[in-house]
Each structure stands twice: as structure tokens, then as C-alpha cells.
């Protein structure tokens, strides 16, 4: 059984226009994927595809007017989307670790690193301060942070971007979660630091059996560090499977185009390899969301694409598969 199983997640932004008519921005339109313990899943897609919103929807971190309107997300025998907010709150930080973009702004500027680590551990586990301190130092050490004892006394503003990102990972891992969600954990860091941190995350998954979801717009990150990948377009997964299978046989025209256009480390956010633009999510037509940009589109693409299994867990949502 999968550690996390997301089925048909729909998240909408619901507002009213000047004429008081209801407007529905369909940001997530049926996101489905699974993640197994001990695996790294890469959730990949262009900026605006709905990657971050997928994470915040699962973790109960949406703010109005965003609202989950349908779906199920089974984790540890419970549906995250139907849980009581307090229970989900307790689960976050204990069973599910979250590493966000921009580490500097995610750390509490008013507390020393060590205090933040001790606090998050003691919020969820009955341990003495001395024991928490010892565990925090060990965690910093295991994340390749030199001189952890001294570093415990550091303030967030004293850390480099790479160091701050490691501290954020340490915070996410203090309670030994079973699931780790990292949203663009290395975007904005230089390439060497990025590689060190992603190496570390992958080793951690192998060593501890935690299941990790890495959200990225960088296909190179997926190719190098992930076991499975899910390609997102206009709020839905268009293709998913083992990284080797998807790269060997990209089947959705969107995925095929992305991978063909990848010399080495294509940054999807700035890629302009496909003509046209993603559909207007305020007036999403029935059928395949990619059809206006798709060179292979036909009349049948105006109906919802079927899920086609290609073997070994490789699935594509396309009429042409």
C-alpha cells in the first residue's frame, strides 16, 4: 500500500466579479498520484501548473478563497482532506515534514537555530530540553552542518542560503516524519549547493525509508534525484511513472515536448518551447486541457482523456496514447 495516495483532488478559488457573479478559478482539476515509502517522487511542471497548491491543499494550509472542493488523500489510514484541522495541524511537523521555498523567510528571525529545533521537537514529543538539544545537534551534524554546537547558537540572518535550507530540512525532520514534502527546496541556490542538498535528501530517503515528494520546475532535478515523476499541466497530472520509463518513452505530447527540449537542465519556468499558453482556468473547457497547444489534437480531445496504462506504473492521460 502506498504511503500517500491522492485521488482526484480539486481545488478552486471562488470569488465574485464586479457584477456579483460567482467566478470559479479551477486551479486543481483532479490531481491523482501515489507515493511509496523510501521513494522520491518528483512533481514537475511549469510555473502556475498547481504544484505548490497541491502541497498546500494536502496539508490544510489553503487560505480563502482557495478551497478543496473534491478529492481524497489517504495517509496513515486517514484522509488528509477530511481531517479535523487540529488533528491535521498536529500531524504536520510530526508525521509530515514540509520544506518550503525561500528558507530565510521560513525561519523565525527572532529565535536562535537551536531553540527552533528544540521547540519543534518538544511540541510533538515528551523529551527534556537536554535530550532535545542533543538530538538537534545530531540532526545538524547528519545534514552536513559543520560545528553543530556552535551553529545551534546562530541566528537565522547569520546563515547562508544553503545553510538556511539545511536548517529548514533539519526542522522538517526533527520528529522523524514518514512523509517529507519539499517545495522547490533548492531553487535560488547555486548549482553546487543545490546538488549537495539534493544528494543529502536522497540519501536520507534511502537510509530512513521516509517518502519524499520534491516539487520542482527543473526536469534535471527529476532526472537525477527522483525515482518516480508526475508531470503536471493546468492543475492535473498528465503523465506519471518511474523516471526511467517516462524519460525513455514520454507519451503525453506535453511531456514529450518537454523532454525533447531538454538539453541538460531545462528550466521549465522559462522554457518557451511549446507555442501558446496554458488554458484560462476561469473558463476551462471540457476535455484535454492541452489540446489548444497540442500538435496531435483531434475532435475526440474535446472529451476527457482516458488514463492509459503503459506498464510498470507508467500512466498517461491522452487520447493519442
Ligand X SMILES: Nc1ncnc2c1ncn2[C@@H]1O[C@H](COP(=O)(O)OP(=O)(O)O)[C@@H](O)[C@H]1O
Give the binding site for Mg ion (CB under 5 A).
51-52
Binding of residue 280 to ligand X (CB under 6 A): no
- Burial label for 2, CB within 10 Å (0-12, 13-18, 19+), is middle
Mark residues 27-56: x for contact with ligand X by CB under 6 A, - for none.
x-----------------x-xxxxxxx---
- Three-state SS annotation for 81-141: HHCCHHHHHHHECCCEEEECCCHHHHCCCCCCHHHHHHHHHHHHCCCCHHHHHHHHHHHHH
Measured from the CB atom, the residue of 13 and 247 that comes closer to ligand X is 13
CB of 279 to ligand X, least distance (A): 11
How far is residue 163's CA from residue 115's CA, in Å, rounded to a whole number? 16
* Footprint of ligand X on 49-88 (CB under 6 A): 49-53
CB of 214 to Mg ion, least distance (A): 12
Binding of residue 142 to ligand X (CB under 6 A): no
Measured from the CB atom, the residue of 113 and 222 that comes closer to ligand X is 222
How far is residue 304's CA from residue 317's CA, in Å, rounded to a whole number? 9
CA angle 49, 295, 297 (to 5 degrees): 85
Measured from the CB atom, the residue of 68 and 181 that comes closer to Mg ion is 181
Binding of residue 273 to ligand X (CB under 6 A): no
How far is residue 258's CA from residue 220's CA, in Å, rounded to a whole number? 11
8 binds, among Mg ion, ligand X, none (CB under 5 to 8 A by kind): none
CB of 200 to Mg ion, least distance (A): 22
CB of 6 to ligand X, least distance (A): 14
Are the C-beta atoms of 118 and 170 separated by less than 8 Å? no
Per CB under 6 A, the list member of 2, 7, 8, 13 interacting with ligand X is 13
CB of 182 to ligand X, least distance (A): 13
Q: Give 3-state DSSP helix, strand, coil % of the chain, rounded to 5.
A: 35, 25, 40
**Can you give the binding site for ligand X, defined by CB under 6 A?**
13, 27, 45, 47-53
Amino acid at each position: 500500500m502506498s504511503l500517500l495516495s491522492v485521488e482526484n483532488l480539486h481545488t478552486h478559488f471562488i470569488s465574485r466579479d464586479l457584477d456579483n457573479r460567482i467566478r470559479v478559478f479551477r486551479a486543481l482539476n483532479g490531481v491523482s498520484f501515489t507515493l511509496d515509502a523510501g521513494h522520491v517522487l518528483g512533481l514537475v511542471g511549469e510555473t502556475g501548473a498547481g504544484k505548490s497548491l497541491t502541497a498546500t491543499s494536502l496539508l490544510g494550509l489553503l487560505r480563502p478563497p482557495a478551497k478543496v472542493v473534491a478529492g481524497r488523500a489517504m495517509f496513515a489510514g486517514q484522509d488528509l482532506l477530511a481531517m479535523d484541522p487540529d488533528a491535521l495541524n498536529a500531524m504536520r511537523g510530526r508525521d509530515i515534514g514540509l520544506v518550503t521555498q525561500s528558507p530565510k523567510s521560513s525561519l523565525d528571525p527572532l529565535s536562535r537555530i537551536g531553540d527552533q529545533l528544540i521547540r519543534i521537537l518538544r511540541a510533538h514529543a515528551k523529551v527534556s530540553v537536554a535530550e532535545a538539544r542533543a538530538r538537534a545537534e545530531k540532526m545538524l551534524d547528519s545534514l552536513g552542518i559543520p560545528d553543530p554546537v556552535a551553529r545551534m547558537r546562530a541566528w537565522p540572518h547569520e546563515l547562508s542560503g544553503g545553510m538556511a535550507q539545511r536548517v529548514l530540512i533539519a526542522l522538517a525532520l526533527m520528529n522523524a516524519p514518514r512523509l517529507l514534502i519539499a517545495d522547490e527546496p533548492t531553487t535560488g541556490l547555486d548549482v553546487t549547493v543545490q546538488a549537495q542538498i539534493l544528494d543529502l535528501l536522497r540519501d536520507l530517503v534511502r537510509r530512513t525509508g521516509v517518502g519524499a515528494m520534491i516539487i520542482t520546475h527543473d526536469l534535471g532535478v527529476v532526472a537525477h534525484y527522483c525515482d518516480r515523476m508526475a508531470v503536471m499541466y493546468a492543475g492535473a497530472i498528465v503523465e506519471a511513472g518511474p523516471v526511467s520509463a517516462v524519460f525513455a518513452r514520454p507519451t503525453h505530447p506535453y511531456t514529450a515536448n518537454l523532454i525533447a527540449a531538454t538539453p541538460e537542465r531545462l528550466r521549465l519556468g522559462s522554457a518557451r518551447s511549446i507555442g501558446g499558453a496554458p488554458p484560462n482556468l476561469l473558463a476551462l473547457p471540457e476535455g484535454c486541457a492541452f489540446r489548444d497547444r497540442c500538435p496531435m489534437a483531434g475532435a475526440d480531445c474535446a472529451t476527457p482523456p482516458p488514463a492509459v496504462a503503459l506498464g510498470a506504473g507508467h500512466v498517461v492521460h491522452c487520447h493519442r496514447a
